[in-house]
Amino acid sequence: MRMKKTRIVRVTLVGTEKTYNMTMRAPHHNYFVNGILSANSHSVAYAHVAYQTAYLKANYPEHFYAAVMTYMADDAAKILKYASELRAQKIKMLPPDINESGPGFTPVEGAIRYGLSAIKGIGQSVVNPIIEARKERPFTSIFDFAERVCDKGVGKRAMESLICAGAFDSLKPASETLHKWRAALLATVDRAIECGARKRRERNSGQVGMFTLVDETETVGQHLSLQSAAAWTQKELLAHEKASVGFYVSGHPLEDFVEKVALLNCKTFADLAGAEPNSHVRLAGVVSDFTVRNTKKGDRYAFFRLEDLTGAGVKCVLWPEALKSKGKDAADDALLLVIGRLDTSGGSLPTIVCDEVSLLETARIPARHFGVSYPTARTETQSLLIEFPSEADITEMCEKVAQTLMAYPGNCDVFLELCLPESNVKVRLRPGQAIKVSSAQALNDGLKQAGVHFKWVDSLTANKREPNGRTNTL
C-alpha cells in the first residue's frame, strides 16, 4: 500500500463511529478504515511497554531508577524527586566515586551510585579522561589523580566539584573524619595540580629527579600528605555537597530534628493541599533562594523557598514589619520553624505569609511535651557532659573529641569530666565559652566513635560541684 501526502482543507464533525484493526502487509502503523484514521495497534504496543516498565520498577528498582536518573541527569528538580522516592523505598544514594562511578547513575545491590556527569561543572569532556585513566589502574590519591588527568581537560574547578560531591571519599583513611578529609582535600587542590604538572614535565623531558632511582613505593608517602585545614562543620559539609550535586547525598540537615518537628505540631508540606485558605500553619524546613527586595516605599522585604526532607518546597514571604521584628534568623541553608498564614490567592501554588520565623534548633517545645525524652529535642537548659576514661590516652582522645565538637556548633554548653586516680579526685572542666554544640544525633555518633562516655544533663546539674570533685574552667 502506497501512502500519499494530502493537504487538509477542511475538518467537519460527522459524529462517532467504531474503528477496526486491519492486518496490513506494508510496514505502516497508521491507516484509514472507512475514512477514519485508526491506530488501535499502538495501544497494545504502549500497554506492553508500560507493563515492562512497571515490572522493572517493581522487581529491579535500582536498575529502573538508575536508568531514569541518567536520562534526567540535566534536570536537578527531577533528580531530587527521584532521590526522594529512593529514600522512601530504603534504597541508598551513594556519592560519586572517581574509581567506581560511570558517566551516568550506576545500580548496585540496594543502592545507586551517583553519576559523574550529573555533578555540577562536570561534563563529558571531564568524565572521559577519568574513566580512560582508571582503566590502567585505580586512582590512589589526589596527587595521583592530578598527575594522570589534569592535562586532559580536568581543571581546578572540576576537582573542587568532585571533592565537594564526595568523589574522593573512598580514598579516605579509616582514622580520618569525613569533615576533616574533604576540607584537607579542598585545601590541597592547587598543590596537587602543581605537583602533577611538575611530574609530567620531568617524565616528558627525561630528567632524572633525586628520587627517580628509588623504588616508587618508598616515595608514595610524599604524595599523600595533604594540606592542613580546619575540619568542616556538618553544616558546611552538606552545603558544599548541595552546591556540587544539587541536593544532600550523605545526609540531610533535618534528619536530626524529625522528632522535634513532630512535637512542634508542624504540618507536612503534603498537608498544605488540604489546609483551609488563610489558616495559620507551622512548618519546618531548610531555606533556599533567600532574596531581599525593596517595596515601592523603600522598605525591605524577603521571600524564600522552604524545603522539607523529601525536597518538596513552598514559597514563604516576610513582609517589611515581620522581616524587621521576627526575620533575623532567615538566611540561605538555615533550619527554620515558620509560623504564618496560608495564602492561596496567587493560583495553584500556595504561599506562606510569615508572621514569625526562628531557628529550629532553639525553637521551644510546647509545655505538654517537656516530659518526652529524645536525642534531638534539647532545650536551651541542657548541656553535654563528656567523661574521659582514666586509663585512656587523654591527648589523642581529646584531639578526636575536639574535632567532633567543632563540627557541630550550637547553643548547648560542654563540660569535660576527668578522673585523677592518684588523688581519687574527679575534675569537671569547661572548655571556654566559645565551644557550644548542637544536639545533632551525628554528634552523639561521633563521640561514640571517639571512645568517650557522655550524657545530656540539665545545665544546673552540670554546674554543680560533685562531692568527690570540683568544677574548673579552662
Q: How many helices (H) and strands (E) does the chain have?
A: 14, 16
Who contacts 427 (Cβ-Cβ below 8 Å, separation ≥6)?
A: 417, 418, 419, 420, 469, 470, 471, 472
Domain boundary among 27, 58, 89: 58
Q: Which of 24-28, 179-183, 344-348, 369-373 ranks highest by mean pLDDT? A: 179-183
Of 245, 266, 283, which residue sits at a domain end?
Answer: 245
- Contact indicator for 330, 304 with CB cutoff of 8 Å: yes
- Same domain for 10 and 22, yes or no, is yes
**Last residue of one domain, picked from the residues 219, 245, 271:** 245
Report the Cα 348 to chain-centroid distance in Å: 29
Are residue 48 and residue 188 in the same domain, yes or no?
no
- For the chain, state the CA radius of gyration: 30
Domain limits for position 144: 60-245
For the ranges 47-56, 229-238, 287-296, 370-379, the lowest mean pLDDT is seen at 370-379
Structurally, the chain folds into a number of domains equal to 4
pLDDT at 99: 92
**Residue 341 to residues 300, 317, 344, 352, 421, Cα–Cα distance (Å):** 20, 10, 10, 6, 60
What is the rounded distance in angstroms from the CA atom of residue 437 to the CA atom of residue 385?
Answer: 11
Query: Which range has the top average pLDDT, 235-244, 408-417, 432-441, 452-461?
Result: 235-244
Strand partners, 342: 352
Q: How confident is the model at residue 56 (pLDDT cuts 50, 70, 90)?
A: very high
Highest mean pLDDT among 20-24, 132-136, 260-264: 132-136
Whether the CB-CB separation of 341 and 279 falls below 8 Å is answered with yes
Q: Does residue 181 fall inside a structural domain?
A: yes
Q: What percent of the chain has pLDDT over 90?
A: 16
Same domain for 432 and 450, yes or no, is: yes
| Domain match, 150 and 179 both | yes
Angle (deg, nearest 10), helices 124-134 and 142-149: 110
In this structure, is residue 156 part of a structural domain? yes
Best CA proximity match to 339, nearest among 318, 351, 357, 360: 357
User: Is 374 within a domain?
Assistant: no
CB of 442 within 8 A of CB of 450?
Answer: no
CA atoms within 13 A on the CB side of 230: 8
Q: Which of 248-252, 330-334, 353-357, 467-471 has the lowest mean pLDDT?
A: 467-471
Does residue 376 form part of some domain?
no
Same domain for 403 and 447, yes or no, is: yes
Comparing CA positions, the residue from 121, 176, 238, 157 lying closest to residue 449 is: 176
Cell numbers of 442, please? 551525628
pTM: 0.61
Does 310 share its domain with 448? no
**Residue 133 lies inside a defined structural domain of this protein:** yes
Q: In what order do the strands lie in the sheet with 111-113?
A: 92-94, 111-113, 106-108
Cell of 429: 572542666
Inside any domain, residue 16: yes
Identify the H or E element spanning 63.
Answer: helix 61-71
- Asked if 137 and 174 sit in the same domain, the reply is yes
Cell of 5: 501526502
Residues 91 and 240 in one domain: yes
Enter the DSSP assignment of 407: T
Three-class SS of residue 394?
A: helix
